């Protein structure tokens, strides 16, 4: 089933975007990704600054994405030239580079470059920057009839630095200050474990020689604790580790190690690599969890009728899997109304879903796949619930004999909480519920016939 996502960058956007990279594959990939943001974007691509200027022929663009190092004119020179063509000198510029060249960011700042991106990066990251740039001057649409998949804003990764030497902590903080990470520190092994359990980070930079509990002991306890066992760990130590110690640390579950003094670029590269691997592994684990839950639900619904007790149980389980505070299921079969509600907080007792959700029943004819709403506050004339507890949501139809007879809705307090995998899971669960409702209607009809006889 197709997945449609509501975001504030739809086909209302009209802008000219130029992408320049001397690697044809990179230029083409970025152009293809950016063009999917809106059908009204005019995206141009070139493999050199000279080719780009020739294509433009004196006309301006609204946004440029340019590689820094190219034959002939470099990226900064191209941006400076294009700024003269931009209406009112308003040009949003993104400079991409493979190297963190000393002084480059300062030069880019003086030339009013908006963003400097270090390779490698994902096309989704560039698309998110482009969306934000375009939204500054574009109107926010009301509920659209079609929508494109989009990504949530780039997550802020949380790093925990564990080292008993304040100078080492200061050095690491200085190295990481430009990376937009959320950073927590600990100065001994016991404090490290306490902070790990209180707020599990995305990555741990762990010193070996610490008081109270050394790094190896921390690592051993982490790998024996379910909520901590998948957190990547990079051993950071001033001591030149013996090969036996290195083997020991890796066998205990360390993901990497680096010895001081270390190069800043190497450290950042290792951190980014570990975070990329963690992201992929987290997605695989999450999808596996979704699949297991889907199989469980299918077996349970196949074996038992959907009475109120079972529905409440299923809705609570679905809410826990997707980590949402509110969920609703409502359906009507003949004269029978089926309603189930889950709320993790002490909300007032409700006899039915919010009225705004009911208004969507007729709209399912136009959008049978349902809605994935990233942020209800970005939708003008919004038909969705807009209280303080709702920022993002998934709403899908329940169908009996091809008729829309109800809905399944999950609501979150966080914008961008749901991704397309979560949307697909809810659609699948709605399909299972719909199948059970079809069975119930079938038995009701046949029971009625038997009674008439």
Do 172 and 57 lie in one domain? The reply is no
Residue 101's pLDDT is 66
Query: Following CA atoms 218, 224, 226, 229 in sequence, which dihedral angle do they give, to the nearest 10 degrees?
Result: 60
- The range of the structural domain enclosing residue 106 comes to 8-135
Residue 305's pLDDT is 62
Do 219 and 309 lie in one domain? The reply is no
Name the residue with higher pLDDT: 383 or 37.
Answer: 37
Residue 352: CB atoms within 10 Å: 12
Q: How confident is the model at residue 119 (pLDDT cuts 50, 70, 90)?
A: confident
Name the residue with higher pLDDT: 331 or 361.
Answer: 331
Q: How confident is the model at residue 345 (pLDDT cuts 50, 70, 90)?
A: low
Calculate the alpha carbon distances from 275 to 121, 155, 256, 271, 272 in Å: 13, 11, 12, 6, 5
Residue 195's pLDDT is 92
Does residue 368 belong to any structural domain of this protein?
yes
Do 113 and 165 lie in one domain? The reply is no
Name the residue with higher pLDDT: 244 or 31.
Answer: 31
Q: Which residues contact 270 (CB under 8 A, 6 or more apart)?
A: 234, 256, 258
Comparing 118-122, 144-148, 329-333, 408-412, the range with the smallest average pLDDT is 144-148
State how far the Cα of 23 lies from the Cα of 18, in Å rounded to an integer.
15
Q: How confident is the model at residue 193 (pLDDT cuts 50, 70, 90)?
A: very high
Do 169 and 269 lie in one domain? The reply is yes
Does residue 149 belong to any structural domain of this protein?
no
Does residue 246 belong to any structural domain of this protein?
yes
Do 308 and 444 lie in one domain? The reply is yes
Residue 91's pLDDT is 84
Does residue 442 belong to any structural domain of this protein?
yes
State how far the Cα of 231 lies from the Cα of 254, in Å rounded to an integer.
10
Q: How confident is the model at residue 140 (pLDDT cuts 50, 70, 90)?
A: very low
Do 310 and 219 lie in one domain? The reply is no
Residue 4's pLDDT is 34
Do 356 and 440 lie in one domain? The reply is yes
Residue 262's pLDDT is 78
Residue 201 burial by Cβ neighbours in a 10 Å radius (0-12, 13-18, 19+): buried
Do 336 and 398 lie in one domain? The reply is yes
| pTM for the predicted model, two decimal places | 0.53
Examine the pLDDT at 277 and tell me if it is beyond 80: yes
Domain boundary among 87, 120, 135: 135
Domain boundary among 103, 135, 167: 135
The residue-averaged pLDDT of 217-242 equals 85
> DSSP label at 371?
E
Q: Which tens digits make up the pLDDT trace of 9-19?
A: 444 457 889 99
Do 377 and 318 lie in one domain? The reply is yes
Comparing 39-48, 62-71, 297-306, 322-331, the range with the smallest average pLDDT is 297-306
Do 83 and 127 lie in one domain? The reply is yes
Do 86 and 189 lie in one domain? The reply is no
Looking at residue 55, which CATH number applies to its domain?
Answer: 3.40.50.2300
Does residue 316 belong to any structural domain of this protein?
yes
State how far the Cα of 32 lies from the Cα of 28, in Å rounded to an integer.
6
Q: How confident is the model at residue 271 (pLDDT cuts 50, 70, 90)?
A: very high
Residue 366's pLDDT is 73
The residue-averaged pLDDT of 334-346 equals 77
Examine the pLDDT at 138 and tell me if it is beyond 70: no
Residue 206's pLDDT is 93
Please report which helix (H) or strand (E) contains residue 93, including its range.
strand 92-97
Q: How confident is the model at residue 370 (pLDDT cuts 50, 70, 90)?
A: confident
Do 95 and 167 lie in one domain? The reply is no
Residue 227's pLDDT is 84
Examine the pLDDT at 330 and tell me if it is beyond 80: yes
Residue 308 burial by Cβ neighbours in a 10 Å radius (0-12, 13-18, 19+): exposed
Looking at residue 402, which CATH number applies to its domain?
Answer: 3.30.450.40
Residue 264's pLDDT is 86
Does residue 65 belong to any structural domain of this protein?
yes
What total of structural domains would you count in the chain?
3
Q: How confident is the model at residue 194 (pLDDT cuts 50, 70, 90)?
A: very high
The residue-averaged pLDDT of 80-93 equals 74
State how far the Cα of 319 lies from the Cα of 329, in Å rounded to an integer.
12
Average pLDDT score, the chain: 79
Residue 272 dihedral angles phi and psi, to the nearest 5°: -60, -40
Domain boundary among 226, 257, 276: 276
Does residue 362 belong to any structural domain of this protein?
yes
State how far the Cα of 186 lies from the Cα of 394, in Å rounded to an integer.
39
Does residue 1 belong to any structural domain of this protein?
no
């Amino acid at each position: 089933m197709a997945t449609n996502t509501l975001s504030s960058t739809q086909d209302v956007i009209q802008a000219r975007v130029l992408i320049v990279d001397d690697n044809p594959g990179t230029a083409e990939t970025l152009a293809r990704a950016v063009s999917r943001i809106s059908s009204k974007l005019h995206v141009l691509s070139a493999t050199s600054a000279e080719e780009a200027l020739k294509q433009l022929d004196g006309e301006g663009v609204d946004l440029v994405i340019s590689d820094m190092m190219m034959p002939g004119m470099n990226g900064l020179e191209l941006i400076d030239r294009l700024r003269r063509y931009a209406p009112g000198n308003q040009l949003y510029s993104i400079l991409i580079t493979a190297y963190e060249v000393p002084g480059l960011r300062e030069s880019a700042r003086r030339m009013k470059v908006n963003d400097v991106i270090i390779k490698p990066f994902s096309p989704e990251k560039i698309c998110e920057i482009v969306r934000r740039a375009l939204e500054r001057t574009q109107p926010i649409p009301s509920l659209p009839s079609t929508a494109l998949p989009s990504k949530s804003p780039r997550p802020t990764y949380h790093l925990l630095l564990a080292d008993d030497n304040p100078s080492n902590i200061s050095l690491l903080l200085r190295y990481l200050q430009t990376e937009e990470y959320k950073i927590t520190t600990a100065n001994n092994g016991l404090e490290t474990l306490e902070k790990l359990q209180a707020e599990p980070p995305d990555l741990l930079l762990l010193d070996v020689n610490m008081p109270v509990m050394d790094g190896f002991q921390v690592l051993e306890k982490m790998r024996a604790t379910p909520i901590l066992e998948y957190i990547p760990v990079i051993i950071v130590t001033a001591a030149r580790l013996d090969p036996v110690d290195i083997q020991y640390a890796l066998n205990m579950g360390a993901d990497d190690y680096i010895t001081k003094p270390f190069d800043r670029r190497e450290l950042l590269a290792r951190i980014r690599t570990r975070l990329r691997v963690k992201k992929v592994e987290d997605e695989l684990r999450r999808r596996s969890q979704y699949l297991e839950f889907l199989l469980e639900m299918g077996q349970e619904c196949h074996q038992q009728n959907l009475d109120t007790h079972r529905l409440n149980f299923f809705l609570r389980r679905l809410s826990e899997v997707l980590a949402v505070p509110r969920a609703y299921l409502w359906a009507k079969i003949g004269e029978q109304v089926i309603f189930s509600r889950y709320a993790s907080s002490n909300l007032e007792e409700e006899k039915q879903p919010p009225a705004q959700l009911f208004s969507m029943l007729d709209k399912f004819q136009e959008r049978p796949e349902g809605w994935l709403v990233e942020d209800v506050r970005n939708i003008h004339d919004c038909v969705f619930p807009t209280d303080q507890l709702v920022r993002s949501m998934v709403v899908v139809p329940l169908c009996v004999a091809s008729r829309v007879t109800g809905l399944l809705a999950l609501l979150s307090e966080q914008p961008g909480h749901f991704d397309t995998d979560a949307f697909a899971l809810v659609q699948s669960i709605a399909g299972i519920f719909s199948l059970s409702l079809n069975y119930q209607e079938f038995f009701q009809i046949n029971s009625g016939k038997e009674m008439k006889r």
